[in-house]
Structure 1
Amino acid sequence: VKEASMTTESEAPGAVTKSGAKNAKSDAQKFYKKRPDPEGLKLIEEGDAAMKENDFAKAKALYDKATEVCKASSVQAEKPKKEPKPAAAEKEEPEKTGANASRTLLLSDPKTNVQAKPMREGVPEEQNYARNSQQVLDDHLKTTGGKYLTRFPPEPNGYLHIGHAKAMNFNFGQAKIAKSMGIGGETIMRFDDTNPEAEKQEYIDSILANVKWLGNNPIKVTYSSDYFEELYQFALQLIRQGDAYVCHQTKDEIKASRDIIRQAHIDHLKEMPAGAFSPWRETGVEENLDKFEKMRTGQYEEGKAMLRMKGDLWSDNPAMWDTVFYRIKYSPHPKAGDKWCIYPTYDYTHCIVDSLENISHSLCTLEFETRQAADGPYYWLLHKLGIYKPVTWEYSRCNITHNVLSKRKLNSLVTKKIVNGWDDPRLLTLDGLRRRGYSPSSINAFCEQIGVTRSGTITTQMHVLENCIRTELDLSARRVFAVVRPLKVEITNMSQQETLKVPNHPKDPSLGEREIVFSPTIFIERDDFRLQDDPQYYGLAPNKDVGLLGTGVVLTCTEVVKDSKGNVERLKATVRPRGDAKPKGNIHWVSDGAAVKAELRLYSNLFTVENPNVSPAKPAAAAAAAEGTLSSPFTLLQLES
């Protein structure tokens, strides 16, 4: 009894036990599953690290904080829908999502878009900023004629990649479907050029070329900078309404304030503690107008002043916590020149230009979901300005194994010369894919195959992309023989060469025939020969038969000639007509003398790990790829002429 009543230091009253920390983790995971907030996940991972160090009190505190973050988060987990099993007669009908999504009109009828975005569960109606008045919607429909109007808005700060191809396929594709249905559909090509430091004309030119290359035809090309004056006037309107203020906090101070606000939400405080509000949040209208004019006329240094929204710090949507609308940048703009030294942020520009261009459906990837919620800054801003509110629609990003699509990471690979430029064939940039031999139709087929989903965790295997071009080329490519690692074969019972005719395509006679030379000395693929035969092996071995493609003969290995080190140097063989008995396998070959040497560039995965975005990644092929496959010596190839 005495032993049972004793407590250790870790089990003392009020101490956190391992079991208590595990229970806290279970709660955190449960709420993360419902609301998968990235910050919540980070806290859970930090809690796991504390558990490994047996710091159960720290772990429990982190798990509890993760629970509160996820509870307060606006991120919604996708709810899986159970589809009824189709009847036999219905199985041929295309699905509405996934692979066939790009061929199905997924977007709502523009005439019904009074409520531009559904409200999140639990959000009060007074925070519903996404509702259009009927008059505003009618004015929009009068301008557009009720057609679907989408936009493709890349920032010209780099080269396009396969993820942009997916965005193009969805935006242009939905408009094309609506047009084919007689409703009407068009797409605007818009450059989101609000950051003069990162944007270059070469990127603009490349983007326009790639959009055209993929077969997309926008009704017009616009630039966010085309609307700088309107955006500036709207900013003045917000200041006069008391909905925006000039702030002088540093980035670190803003982050500290947001951390205080976040903790206040977690702790369910009734009042915001000191430090939550910017010291300049309650500055008067006239003073804010004066300061904003000083920003515009270059009287502040970069980073010393910015225009922020006067949002709702009590909102459980963190994007509402006084987002920055304008900042100072003393850099010439590639299109606007040096007319401006204040530039609007993406969060400010995106929604207003969508509205000004009468976009019916603004399609973005899932990272914008919080900002584009009905109670988020996208709709708050349009609500405060009293202008039309487009529908926003989010979908998952394109992720492919063994590669990266982040512009920042791609830029790092290029600048560190791990790859040979933005068009390196190992990259998934459109220029790289094009140089590697991908066609526009194969890239579009890939985008249609993966479709659009609401899951942010799907990563597509690289072979899915490769299969799209393989399938296309299989139908259209003329066949030729080539051997990568040639092994000489001397045919001892053949004295003269012959000229044979073989089809250019095994299944398409319309592609015609070609002549090839069949000589007493040929080369086969070294991998098509083994010293030891195997029942499951279909290649050549000593005293074994294989067919030679295109010749109608069977080749039998009669002798293996080795060099002084015991390596196979060449083979001796005989041939005979194939007859009725088909050989177990058939191999390709090229003729000595008639073949030509060629340089062969072989590409493997760029990264050794499947998902370099979450794993400690290094470029593949430690011996060669670190310098770039293209800078390595090429493999010599024997190729028929």
Structure 2
Amino acid sequence: MEEEKKSLNFIEQIIEDDLANGLTREQIRFRFPPEPNGYLHVGHTKAICINFGLGEKYNAPVNLRFDDTNPEKEEQEFVDSIKKDVEWLGFKWDKVLYASDYFQQLYDWAVQLIKEGKAYVDEQPSEVITEQRKNPTEPGVESPYRNRPIEESLELFEKMKNGEFDEGSMSLRAKIDMVSPNMNMRDPVMYRILKRPHHRTGTAWKIYPMYDWAHGESDYLEQVSHSLCSLEFENHRPLYNWYLEQVYDKTKVAPKQREFARMNVSYMITSKRKLQRLIAENAVTGWDDPRMPTISGMRRKGFTPASIRNFIEKVGVAKRENLIELQLLEFCVREDLNKIAKRVMAVVDPVKLVIENYPEGQEEWLETENNPEQEDAGTRKVPFSRELYIEREDFKEEANNKFFRLKLGGEVRLKSAYIIKAERVEKDENGEITTIYATYDEKSKSGSGTEESLRKVKGTLHWVSAKHALPVEVRIYDKLFTVEQPDAEKDVDFLNFINPDSVQVVQGFAEPGLKDVEVGEPLQFQRIGYFTKDQDSTDDKVVFNRTVTLKDSYKPE
């Protein structure tokens, strides 16, 4: 039992302590509260896995609650994408809820705070309010409206709600402490005027609650026991608690906010505003571009839910922020794909190979394995003929003894086929090799059981029959940025670090069966990397994205 306690992360320990101090298991409830103003990114995967993972651990419900308090930036498209991402990661929510579900209750509570002398309507511009707050070492300056009569604030607040004032002309502020060292407590704004249609409530509201006011009260209304958020909200916790204290009924559960370190991954950015800039300035093609650190981008690139969840598990739940290596994420992806991806043959930089002593017009369908890592993966048939495509880099006219691929006068085995020997080459006017001519050993067919078939050669090459080849567009993706932390320097535009070679599009050939694979199906192009069929594929054009290379230098601890 002692060993089990040691393995708990600090959030699990908090929950266990709460259970020991009177909280019942039936009272445990979590939530994941994204704002629907963009697509979820790699940083959100940690919050998703923590909240829904705890729900699974404690058999507790988890709400998916959209923090839709800013109609200027929120859209139904983002709501739909967030649902899709959470489901794709393998999690199930208890209820789909919205902060907008509680607009009336939040308004009523705000009226209550005004009546109790704990909130007031301020007619100053936001710039003035910000200036009056000063800084943590300098006392703030009270608004001249801070002590206005309660009835006056009530009347003005109702007129704000009815749309009788212009945007920015006034706001509702909580009356807390203008000399607090915590800037969040210096009479924070609770409501601002926004005459914008809301994606759910339409034009019903002309004022909208600020995040700090809506978030904790929404947690309370849903009886969330543990409100888990990233570290930047740590200084907001006193305000979260102050707001709760104003409405808290002691017979109910008081949500407990606790913070964990957000996840920063090298060569990625996790600011929605900056991700939107990438799209607006055509650095990428959209939210689901495979170079984007969004969940939809990673899904399109071929990452798997299991690999992302395993990555989050390896990263762990920490209290301090640090930079996680992209190589760890790719290691987890590669580890999962190695188990599940079908091995197929494709050539991305083709050169023709003609087997001169193979009968013209003859073809064979040879048996090859689907995945040696899976016992029940089975085999499939691939066509073989006199003319093939191989990778250009797999051939050299002359090479030393460390080059185990094909060279003039040398032998290699063609995967699941025959041993061949390169005899001569044909070149164009620029000296580029256009055709390699070879001979084959008819008795060396893989799996034939003959003595010749069992003889060993050091190299094995993948190939595609030219007659049967499926033309494919292959998108070779690399890091979107050239530096580990592209937005680390405030004075340098992160767009300066865009990698000009983040995607290379090449035309290749693949075995014909790949025309019928499903979009998103994981594949290993043998000896090249892991790939997946892209959604841009049509009947006339088949597109594959590279997910990750076969190997890298990352060494797991």
Taking structure 2 as the reference length, the TM-score comes to 0.81
Answering whether residue 38 of structure 2 is matched by residue 158 of structure 1, we say yes
CA contact 2:427–2:434 (8 Å) conserved in 1: yes
Query: Shift of the alpha carbon at 1:394?
Result: 1.0
2:426 to 537, 561, 579: 561
| SS of equivalent residue, structure 1 residue 175 | helix
CA distance change for structure 1 residues 517 and 342 in 2, over 3 Å: closer, same or farther?
A: closer
Query: In structure 2, what residue type is equivalent to 1:370?
Result: N
CA distance 1:360–1:501, change in 2 (3 Å): same
Flag structure 2 segments of 5+ consecutive residues without an equivalent. 445-451, 513-557
Q: Give 1:62-461 correspondences, 5 Å limit.
A: 95-97=7-9, 105-109=12-16, 111-112=18-19, 146-179=26-59, 185-259=60-134, 261-264=135-138, 272=139, 276-372=141-237, 376-387=238-249, 388-461=253-326
Q: Cα–Cα, structure 1 residues 95 and 145, in superposed 2: closer, same or farther, change >3 Å?
A: closer
The AA in structure 2 aligned to 1:456 is: E
- Counterparts of 1:442-591 in structure 2, within 5 Å, are 442-461=307-326, 463-495=327-359, 496-551=362-417, 553-576=418-441, 577=444, 582-591=456-465
Letter in 2 for 1:377: L
Which of the two has greater helix per residue? 1
Q: Which amino acid aligns with 1:514?
A: R
Q: Which amino acid aligns with 1:149?
A: R
Q: Deviations over 1:517-549 (max 9, x none)?
A: 332322211121234424443322233332221
Give the Cα–Cα distance (whole angstroms) in 2 for the partners of residues 489 and 410 of structure 1.
Answer: 45
**Which residue of structure 2 aligns with residue 600 of structure 1?**
474
- Count the aligned residue pairs: 493
Tell me: CA distance 1:624–1:522, structure 2 relative to 1, closer, same or farther (3 Å).
Answer: same
Distance in 2 of aligned mates of 1:543 and 1:621: 45
Q: Any unmatched runs of 5+ in structure 1?
A: 1-89, 115-137, 180-184, 265-271
1:380 positional shift: 1.4
- Change in 2 beyond 3 A, CA 1:623/1:364: closer
User: Counterpart in 1 of 2:554?
Assistant: none
Q: Deviations over 1:576-625 (max 9, x none)?
A: 33655532222211122122212222222222222222154337776576
Q: Percent identity?
A: 40
Task: Quote the offset at 1:93 in angstroms.
Answer: 11
Given that 1:609 and 1:617 are in contact with CA atoms closer than 8 Å, whether structure 2 keeps it comes out as no
Give the counterpart letter for 2:240 in structure 1. Answer: Y
**Once the 2 structures are TM-superposed, how far is the Cα of residue 431 of structure 1 from its aligned partner?**
2.2
Query: Do 2:25 and 2:58's aligned partners in 1 also have CA atoms closer than 8 Å?
Result: no
CA distance in 1, matches of 2:17, 2:171: 36
Q: What residue identity is the alignment partner of 1:176?
A: E
Tell me the distance in 2 between the aligned counterparts of 1:109 and 1:357: 21
1:470 deviates by 2.7
Does structure 2 conserve the Cα–Cα contact (< 8 Å) formed by 1:245 and 1:283? Answer: yes
Q: CA deviation at 1:483?
A: 0.5
Counterpart-to-counterpart distance in 1, 2:501 and 2:103: 48
Q: Could you tell me whether the CA contact under 8 Å between 1:310 and 1:322 is conserved in 2?
A: yes
CA–CA separation in structure 1 for the residues paired with 2:498 and 2:318: 33
Does the 8 A contact of 1:110 with 1:147 survive in 2?
Answer: no
* 1:306/1:278 CA distance change after superposition, 3 Å: same
- Distance of 1:536 and 1:396 partners within structure 2: 48
1:96 & 1:557 partners in 2: Cα distance? 61
Mapped to 1, the partners of 2:330 and 2:467 lie a distance apart of: 34
The equivalent residue for 1:617 is: 494
Cα 1:531–1:513, aligned 2, differ >3 Å: closer, same or farther?
Answer: same
Distance 1:252 1:110, change over 3 A: same
The answer (yes or no) to whether the contact 2:263–2:322 under 8 Å persists in 1 is no
C-alpha deviation, 1:439, in angstroms: 3.2
C-alpha change, 1:623 and 1:476, in structure 2 (3 Å) is closer
Structure 1 counterpart of 2:244, which letter? L
SS in 1 for 2:424: strand
* Displacement after TM superposition at 1:444 (Å): 2.5
- Conservation of the 8 A alpha-carbon contact between 2:190 and 2:213: yes
Give the CA deviation at 1:348: 0.6
Mapped partners of 1:240, 1:535: distance in 2: 88
2:511 alignment partner AA: E
8 A contact 1:427–1:606 mirrored in 2: yes
Q: SS at 1:448's partner residue?
A: helix
What is the Cα deviation at residue 95 of structure 1?
4.4
Q: Distance in 2 between matches of 1:473 and 1:575?
A: 34
2:495 maps to a residue whose letter is K
Q: SS of 2:510's equivalent?
A: strand
Residue identity in the other structure for 1:587: L
Alignment partner, residue 509 of structure 2: 638
| Residues 113, 391 of structure 1: 8 Å contact kept | no
Q: Measure the CA separation in 1 of the matches of 2:45 and 2:466.
A: 44
Deviation at 1:315, TM superposition (A): 2.4
Contact 1:594 1:640 in 2 (8 A): yes
Tell me the secondary structure at the aligned position of residue 369 of structure 1. helix
